[in-house]
A and B are shown apart, each in its own frame.
Chain A
Amino acid sequence: MKTAQQIARDVRSGESSAQSELDASLAAIRGRNEELNVFLYVDEAGARAAAAAIDEKVAKGDAVGPLAGVPIAIKDNMCQVGIPTTCSSKILEGWRPPYNATVIDRLVAAGAVPVGKTNLDEFAMGSSTENSAFGPTRNPLDPSRVPGGSSGGSAAAVAADMTPIALGSDTGGSIRQPAALCGLVGVKPSYGLVSRYGLIAFASSLDQIGPFSKTVMDSAILLETIAGHDPMDSTSLPEPAPSLSAHVEDGVVGKRIALVRELIEGADADVVASVNRAVEALKDAGASIIEISIPELHLGLSAYYLIAPAEASSNLARYDGVRFGLRVDAEDVEAMNTATRTAGFGAEVKRRIMLGTYALSAGYFDAYYGQALKVRTQMINAFQRAYAQADLLIGATAPSVAFPFGSKTSNPMAMYLSDVFTIPTNLAGEAAISVPFGTGEAGLPTGVQLLGPGRSEAQLFAAARVLELAEVGS
């Protein structure tokens, strides 16, 4: 399959057309969607119209954007006018948003062709896409295993060559972990770099939209397309989108990169081996390597599993059967709210709503939520100290390769531990990228994670490109 960069180039030059690229994408979706359960909805008509419009522009010699004619998959927690948007929840089944997420507007303006909405763990709560009300997504590399989550559908779309790029959202690792498990590049941008307007909130202070792709360059192009200030999001960074693709080939000569002990601790041996090989590759490319310890990272999981559910418990209150989505009728409004929510939410969502409600409730606030916010401060300070010593950090993305279905569903804590290396970045609001590097058990890909301070995306892409070159050699 061609990269997004190649498709856009060929569409612009007339060597290919948006419509033929879309045909290839739709054919791939038809080929494997039933088996893998990647797309919850394919907007064939809308995509065909968008592709035809791009081709018409090219024919007339009009300017087309950097993603002209590139099919893209959208995680089904981003609003698109008139397109069913479910968050993989029964509570939103049938809802068609009357507005576009900012990222959708920006993609369309850049010439991209959104082909449909991909499966996720309900409301992005999960690490395997097994929590979807519409069935799990299978890992295209080994359909007996999970693709990771929560953006498992978007990761699978790219891994199965259905689209060259996809958008996911990352609250505690929901882009990077499935990227690692599916052998892809996945980026969690700095908090505020990408507008959250139209992203259905899980945990507002942690959520970020980011790219999936097979190549580092494609993620850079996609991210610089969707990034930049948005007046509709108060937490959006004030500056315009940074130039990223221009820095992909910058290399790492003279860069200080720190291997963080806590970011490989407890990982499978083959995952650790991949990280160590990546460190060697970066050293060979001219980086100076140190090893450090950030003990505060141990507290990330605890803080995250109070902060994220607390925010979620409030963000998900609006699914009450009054204005949109599911309603289960009852005698009075309170009973109707309860019946609707009880029928509409799955077990994991209920678990987190209750956990968050408890953490915020009178008498427990200080001990749980209040304490977690202070730990968050400690985490930020600890990262700051680390970045005084190093430009970037390196570790594993996930503790293991893709795991079999059902292996972690009975024990929530075991599932939560698959995000242990990715969560700290979200708590600190910083940036990280997962790069496919090496293989582990059953020949499945392992992911290496590079972490940087806020607004360090250009450096992260440059370092990721060094690993890509070392691995693929092109």
Chain B
Amino acid sequence: MTEALRREDVAHVAKLARLSLSEEELELYTEQLGQILEHANDMSTLDLEGVVPTAHPFGLINVVRDDIVRLSLSRDVVLAMAPDAEDGRFAVPRIMGEAP
């Protein structure tokens, strides 16, 4: 059985998902997500030991493509989409930490 969802869980998840929530939203989402998870508890009582999880509806395997170069997009088109660009690159505000 899984324990009830807490406010701090929702706050943590929001941070992982890069969303910021007001106090009221935090309250509301904790309640709503809690209800959904409670509904999902009908699954947690099932004994599914040994059942193979299905991540794909069909058992296709080895779908590959030939290693042949295709046309890339034009850089002008690519950078025209960018909220900010400089010197042929996408520009972003400062990055605080190294990549994990």
The answer, yes or no, to whether A351 is at the interface (CB within 8 Å) is: yes
Residue of A nearest to B38 (CB): A413
Residues on A with beta carbons closer than 8 Å to the beta carbon of B83: 321-322, 324-327
The answer, yes or no, to whether B27 is at the interface (CB within 8 Å) is: no
Would A329 and B55 be within 8 Å (CB), given that A323-B81, A371-B43 are in contact? no
Which of A326, A335, A428 neighbours the largest number of chain B CB atoms within 10 Å of its CB? A335
Q: For the complex, give the distance between the alpha carbons of A157 and B5 in Å.
A: 41
Residues on A with beta carbons closer than 8 Å to the beta carbon of B94: 331-333
Main secondary structure of the interface of A (DSSP, over half): helix
| B84–A327 CB distance below 8 A | yes
Q: Contact partner of A341 among B9, B18, B43, B93, CB < 8 A?
A: B18
Min CB–CB distance A192 → chain B (angstroms) = 6
Would A413 and B35 be within 8 Å (CB), given that A235-B60, A377-B54, A428-B57 are in contact? yes
Q: For the complex, give the distance between the alpha carbons of A375 and B83 in Å.
A: 42
- Total count of chain A residues near the partner, CB < 8 A: 72
Interface size of B as a range: 35 or more
The answer, yes or no, to whether B69 is at the interface (CB within 8 Å) is: no
Q: Which of B49-75 contact A (CB under 8 A)?
A: 51-58, 60, 63, 65, 73
Q: Contact partner of A324 among B35, B37, B81, CB < 8 A?
A: B81
Residues on B with beta carbons closer than 8 Å to the beta carbon of A234: 60, 63
* Residues of chain B at the chain A interface (Cβ within 8 Å): 2, 5, 9-10, 12-14, 16-20, 29, 32-33, 35-37, 39-44, 46, 48, 51-58, 60, 63, 65, 73, 77-78, 81-84, 90, 92-96
10 residue pairs, one from A and one from B, having the closest CB atoms: A429-B57, A373-B53, A327-B83, A374-B48, A324-B81, A374-B51, A376-B54, A302-B40, A234-B63, A191-B57
* 7 A-B residue pairs with CB within 8 Å: A231-B65, A323-B82, A333-B96, A354-B10, A361-B13, A372-B40, A416-B36
